[in-house]
Amino acid sequence: MAKHEVVVITGASAGVGRATVREFARRGAWIGLIARGKDGLTAARREVEEAGGRALVLPVDVADADAVEAAADYVEKNLGPIDIWVNNAMASVFSPIKEMTPEDFKRVTDVTYLGYVYGSLAALKHMLPRNRGTIVHVGSALAYRSIPLQAAYCAAKHAVLGFFAALRTELKHDHSKVRTTMVQMPALNTPQFGWVKSRLPRKAQPVPPIFQPEVAARAIYYAAHHPDRREYYVAWSTVKAIFGNKLVPSFADDYLARTGYESQQHDGPEDPNRPDNLWEPVPGDHGSHGIFDKRAHSFSMELWLESHAKWLALAAGLTVAGTTLSLMRRASASGEEQRVESKTNAAA
């Protein structure tokens, strides 16, 4: 019987997590599906099974460390040794800081930061004794460049980056064959903008340019199988945000102070009474896409370049070698012509 790749994905019921489930499923993986929303998890399991794989529905809040560890144990027992663990689950609140509550900050931190810590600990418990496995952290440009109205989420992503760097360093120190990498995402068209807790006057939106969750899923799959690279930047907008902040952070502060409020809102007033998923999942199967399909890109040139870097380097090397050889041949031919001309002149 062929060995199936065993993968655990947190936040698997919707958005990027759901798209990532499909990406791994179509390549034959068996998947442990962790999220709170049972409707989305059940639909995700059906999609995995339709692709010919196996999946476990694990209704778990990643803020519960014991439950996450128990879920990992259950996957190991029923699907086999975990090869890849994808930390993806997140929560956010759209709100000015002055209107946030301590409970808001704690909940976003518990899910979006500590959920990654608990997932990593659960994965390491099984991976380290075997000395193999990969942990992928789904990050964001906001892990480097904070924006207004999402302070709790930005801070949590900054914390994930710090945790990831420490974990990677320790694995290297121990000469472990367990790998970890981080994938920094751009704005994505996911359902979260329709269920996120919000105190904004108008409906929330991702800051353009917007990309489809399948772009993120392809990046996660590639990173999981090429984890020696420290980080992957999905889309040029991510690169600009990260390196622009490194070069001119004060300019970025001023720019976002002018544009950051408007760019995160659209399309009429928000309904303050609609359900949100901060503390409880919103019922139903929400799939992977949000409402921004007409504005979202299905291809990222930056991701394509990063995932084809070796081939591009080879092509560049062959081009340089070919050009050098051509120049050498021309120089040799020119020298031969000069020698022939010299002999002719001498004979005359």
Alpha carbons 278 and 196: distance in angstroms, whole number: 7
Alpha carbons 337 and 348: distance in angstroms, whole number: 17
Beta partners for residue 140, in sequence order:
185
What is the SS3 assignment for 26? Answer: coil
| Beta pairing, strands 6-10 & 55-59 | unpaired
Q: How many H-runs (helices) and E-runs (strands) does the chain carry?
A: 12, 14
**Structure tokens that stand for 219 in this block:** 């990046």
Is residue 153 annotated as a catalytic residue, yes or no? yes
> Angle, to 10 degrees, between the axis of helix 236-247 and the axis of helix 249-259?
120
Beta partners for residue 197, in sequence order:
93
Catalytic residue among 113, 153, 232, 233: 153
Alpha carbons 108 and 272: distance in angstroms, whole number: 19
What is the SS3 assignment for 88? Answer: coil
Phi, psi of 340 (to 5 degrees): -65, -45
Catalytic sites, residue numbers: 153
